[in-house]
Amino acid sequence: MTDILLQPIGIVRSSLSSRTGAPRQPDEGAPPASIELDPKWREGLDGLAVGDRIVLITWLDRTDRSTLRVQPRVRTRPPQGVFSTRSPDRPNPIGLHDVTVTGVDGRRVDVDGLEAIDGTPVLDIKPVLACRIADR
């Protein structure tokens, strides 16, 4: 297999400081947060505007990468393979977060409810295309 090298473009700034007590999904009380981009990627924010729906791709750096089976939150279900769940504990802990941009200021992007922990590396920002197509 080929090695893959990923370079974070920024980090999450959030009031969430640990996995304990953090919401597991954005609709479970995730607070607003900001993405602080490395200065060299600032130009990549051109065209991003308040109200845009974006997908943040993060690296969930405080997870157990050896986990292959997890117990679903619905305890009546038996343990399942991690690839059939949204557990952050997985071999490649990539997080996908569908959020709305609430502000863009320099190299900072403010977003609505984000369940990522403060300091989580951000790998990429991508537009939700359905919203962009509808706006044209």
More confident residue, 9 or 84: 9
Per residue in 59-78, pLDDT (tens digit) is: 999 888 888 998 877 777 88
Model confidence, pTM: 0.85
Predicted local distance difference test score (pLDDT) of residue 54 = 97
User: Is the confidence at residue 50, as pLDDT, over 80?
Assistant: yes
Predicted local distance difference test score (pLDDT) of residue 20 = 76
Predicted local distance difference test score (pLDDT) of residue 107 = 96
| Average confidence (pLDDT) over 15-20 | 83
Domain of residue 113 covers 10-66+92-135
User: Is the confidence at residue 49, as pLDDT, over 80?
Assistant: yes
For the chain, the domain total comes to 1
Domain-embedded: residue 80? no
Domain-embedded: residue 43? yes
CATH of residue 58's domain is 2.40.30.70
Long-range contacts of the stretch 86-91 (C-beta < 8 A, 24+): 86/24, 86/25, 88/19, 88/60, 88/63, 89/63, 89/64, 89/65, 90/63, 90/65, 91/65, 91/66
More confident residue, 122 or 132: 122
Domain-embedded: residue 99? yes
